[in-house]
Amino acid sequence: MAKRARLTPAALLLAGAATAAPGYASDQPWQVCTRSDVKALRFITVGEATLSRHDCQTDDLQSPPLRLTFRYFRDVPGDAFAKAALNFLEKNLQATEFNRYQDRFQAFNSHYQDINDGDAYSLTYREDGLTLALNNQPLASETGATFARHYLRIWFGETPYSQSLKENLLDQ
């Protein structure tokens, strides 16, 4: 069962970092709505994911604006993110859609960098597109809601990176 965010020091730190992120002007602060462990090989906890919104009281947690933040507890090479992202995009999109966006996906994924324990990636989905940031520093942006919705299928598609992560983040 998904857990609603509790007001722990870690949650407050994540929420504070989310509201202070440069390049994300908004008159509303981000609220951590849900959280989940991020696991590799289904049993090794490698980080924590949070889904944040300006208002968590919504029927559709996947509608914009939303922010997914992944804080990692170990070093991970950037190319591992890029390869995994492309793999799950291909699994979750019809071949024609994957082929149509493949170059854009690869260009977006090329901005993933090697990370260390404590680093955090965030994906901010707004109605006009998707922004990737590392430790609150924007790395890449893509315009278009369709691109953003397709990209978020890595975590929310029929064949997500992790079914339990999907269920926890979507409070299912």
Structure tokens of 146?
Answer: 């369709």
Alpha carbon distance 165, 156 (integer Å):
9
CB atoms within 10 A of CB 154: 22
Q: Summarize the confidence of residues 9-29 as an average pLDDT.
A: 45
Per-residue pLDDT band at 21 (split at 50, 70, 90): very low
pLDDT above 90 covers a percentage of the chain that reads: 75
Structure tokens of 78?
Answer: 């950037």
Tracing tokens 């509608």 back to the chain, one arrives at: 63
Alpha carbon distance 171, 28 (integer Å):
22
pLDDT at 144 over 80: yes
Nearest CA to 3 out of 33, 46, 27 is that of 33
Nearest CA to 156 out of 147, 165, 144, 146 is that of 165
Q: Could you read off the pLDDT of 22-40 as tens digits, one per residue? A: 444 456 899 999 999 998 8
- pLDDT at site 26: 55
- pLDDT at site 42: 76
Q: Are the beta carbons of 34 and 169 closer than 8 angstroms?
A: yes
Q: Could you read off the pLDDT of 84-130 as tens digits, one per residue? A: 999 999 999 999 999 999 999 999 999 999 999 999 999 999 999 99
Terminal CA-CA length for the chain: 7
Q: Summarize the confidence of residues 36-56 as an average pLDDT.
A: 91
